[in-house]
């Protein structure tokens, strides 16, 4: 059993928390990664409007250039428009996909620091959240994008996103036995800033300026459509690079459609690659690409209690 607490230098006292969204606030919908479908975004707009928000599409939100939502300069321009506009109080990504890493160096971090705004998204948006953490110490929201599908993100998913964006209450997520990663667990309790997100993007950030120092942090990992041997390879790379040295704990989210013909499961791999780090590990958290995805702040102080089966995170907004 382990009880890990982040050293003082990695605590979240220097984190920038933007104001919580309020009814009447304008939120800009951006596509920093892959192209999106207007019919799915229409459902997300309906949802946001129902919360009293005023969703506005970024100029290039529906742009398309192959697997990208328009050229790098267009995607960066949309983000910079959102960060510079004092009327925009939140930035919500339509979806992930691929491409955020190609344009994050063009973000106007001075504008982000002048007027911090809540930024929400997940998957490839992990790269954007890492860049904003590096450049502005901005806490973010790891949750569904506006390209909404009710069959994957039902009412409880909507309520979870609403709470993270529009309230200042801590967020608690319980491990669920129905999740494939539920059996991935090392007892103990850990406290530290919650950092991470999509495993592919964490690994792709190694060697870049955006890779956060995970010393004293609770690492969040989730993934989709990657077979167990690739999960093994990514975690092994993180280990060999020293990125996991000094971790306080690991929060394991959903590993959706991560299976192949071998008898080794993704839970087996996660247990093998994370179980001997000497820190608490909690699997079974409904955070990621699976049905019933819940929202959590990232960059703020978290307490992972593997014995109780809970992850509690301080709000990303104030």
Residues annotated as part of the active site? 123, 222, 289
Q: Counting beta carbons within 10 angstroms of the beta carbon of residue 17, is it exposed (0 to 12), middle (13 to 18) or buried (19 or more)?
A: buried
CA 220 to chain centre: 8
């Amino acid at each position: 059993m382990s009880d890990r607490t982040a050293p003082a230098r990695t605590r979240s006292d220097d984190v920038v928390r933007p104001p919580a969204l309020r009814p009447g606030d304008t939120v800009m919908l951006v596509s920093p990664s892959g192209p999106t479908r207007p019919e799915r975004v229409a459902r997300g707009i309906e949802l946001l409007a129902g919360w009293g928000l005023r969703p506005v599409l970024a100029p290039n939100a529906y742009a398309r250039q192959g697997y990208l939502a328009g050229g790098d300069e267009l995607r960066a321009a949309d983000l910079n428009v959102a960060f510079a506009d004092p009327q925009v109080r939140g930035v919500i990504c339509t979806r992930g996909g691929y491409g955020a890493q190609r344009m994050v160096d063009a973000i106007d971090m001075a504008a982000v620091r002048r007027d911090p705004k809540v930024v929400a998204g997940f998957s490839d948006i992990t790269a954007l959240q890492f860049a904003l953490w590096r450049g502005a110490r901005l806490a973010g929201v790891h949750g569904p994008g506006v390209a909404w599908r009710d069959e994957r993100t039902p009412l409880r998913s909507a309520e979870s996103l609403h709470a993270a964006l529009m309230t200042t209450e801590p967020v608690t997520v319980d491990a669920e036995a129905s999740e494939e990663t539920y059996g991935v667990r090392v007892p103990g309790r850990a406290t530290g800033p919650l950092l991470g997100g999509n495993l592919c993007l964490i690994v792709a950030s190694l060697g870049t300026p955006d890779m956060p120092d995970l010393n004293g942090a609770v690492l969040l990992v989730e993934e989709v459509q990657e077979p167990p041997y690739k999960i093994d390879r990514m975690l092994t790379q993180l280990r060999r690079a020293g990125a996991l040295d000094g971790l306080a704990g690991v929060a394991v989210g959903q590993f959706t459609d991560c299976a192949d013909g071998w008898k080794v499961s993704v839970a087996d791999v996660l247990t093998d690659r994370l179980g001997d780090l000497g820190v608490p590990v909690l699997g079974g958290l409904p955070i990621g690409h699976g049905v019933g995805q819940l929202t959590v702040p990232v960059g703020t102080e978290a307490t992972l209690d593997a014995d109780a089966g809970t992850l509690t995170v301080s709000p990303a907004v104030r």
